[in-house]
Amino acid sequence: MGTGRSAGAPHPNPPLRRATIADVAREAGTSPALVSRFLTGNQRVSEASAGRIREAVDRLGYVPSVTARNLRLRQTGLIALVVPYLDNPLYSLHATGAERELAAAGFLTVVCSTRTKPDGSYLGRSFFDTLGAGRVDGALIFPYQEEVGDLDTLRAHGTPIVLIDRVPMLPDGIAPFDAVTVDNEGAVFDATVRLIEDGHRRIGIVSLREGSLSGTPRFRGYRKALQAAGIALNRDLVALGDGSDMGGASLFAGLLDNGCRPDAIVVATTLQTRGALDVVRRRELQVPRDLAVIGYRHDQSVLWPDIPAYRYPGEMLGEVAAQMLLRRLSGKDGGDVLSESLGLEFVPSSPLQMH
């Protein structure tokens, strides 16, 4: 009686230890080198050999060792997503988009923050030194201006970087970074123009501090729209500060109470919009009858009352940044600086608004 097994049948005595490439090679009647070439897809393998290897892999339950692959390729399998704070819901959306893309490519995403000191100040060079010590294969980073030198050092140590949402001013001698940004200037410009076209002339703005990486383009869009319509900039209608919901509420209320009340307001961040709408509800304002408001929203936000808003592409920002980093890691980028700017979708309010 023959002792051979039928093709595809379970191994009668499966090994207790994890199957190796050598085990697969013996089962398939071929060499470990040929099995390795088949599994990595680096070279063509004949259909006959490929069929035997597939059957052996199935019978033995062989699973490639990620650790061994990473050691061979000198990779950790980890990508850092570096955000300023962990309590902003936008960053969780960015992480969701990035993690989905990176996981599909076999990487794990590690989320960490640079602003974890009690006073919110920058952690310093030691943070980026840690990333550059071979701990991660690449980094997706929301940058601050003071980090430019440390980012350049991290890149020089061989860690690919993609900047997200904003790009610092680069001094002479520092080459541009790969980056994916959002056209906040265009969104605020468009919002202000919409209000002007609706007949408003006393248009206020609630936004981030002028001079900050995120605040500068937003204020520039607002100023350009006023200039294009021949409307003089009135600083009493400008409320700039931090990007929190409480900060947005305070800035919004200040515009209503400073004796130079606007008839329309652009609120230029998602959290500030949430804070501004809290003021609208508490004061029982009717939007847009009492005051026209255009704000920001993210992918999953629900606005009450429902106002026109620009949808910030949270998950997409993470997805595109991850795709960009994967291109850089694959060496298929051609050596050019990678750059992309995402637009914000205008979402009009629904006909039935809640008050």
Mean pLDDT by 10 residues, the chain (355 residues): 44 59 88 78 74 87 60 71 86 93 92 72 71 88 89 90 94 94 98 98 96 94 98 97 94 95 97 97 95 92 92 95 93 84 91 42
Give pLDDT, residue 65.
57
Q: Which residue stretches of the chain are H helix?
A: 21-28, 32-40, 47-60, 66-73, 89-104, 125-130, 148-156, 184-197, 215-228, 245-257, 270-282, 314-330
Give pLDDT, residue 36.
77
**Residue extents of the structural domains in the chain:** 21-64, 76-182+316-344, 184-313
Both tokens assigned to 266? 């652009």
**Whole-angstrom Cα distance, residue 317 to residue 269?**
15
- CATH architecture of structural domain 184-313: 3-Layer(aba) Sandwich (3.40)
| Beta-bridge partner residues of 311 | 297, 345
Same fold, 76-182+316-344 and 184-313: yes
Question: Which residues, 6 or more positions from 13, have their beta carbon under 8 angstroms from its beta carbon?
Answer: none
Give pLDDT, residue 121.
63
CATH of 21-64, one of 3.40.50.450, 3.90.78.10, 1.10.260.40, 3.40.50.720: 1.10.260.40
For domain 76-182+316-344, give the CATH number.
Answer: 3.40.50.2300
Amino acid at 282: R
Amino acid at 243: G
- pTM of the full predicted structure? 0.77
From the centroid of its chain, how far is CA 41? 31
Residue 352: half-sphere exposure toward Cβ, Cα within 13 Å: 0
**Whole-angstrom Cα distance, residue 73 to residue 80?**
18
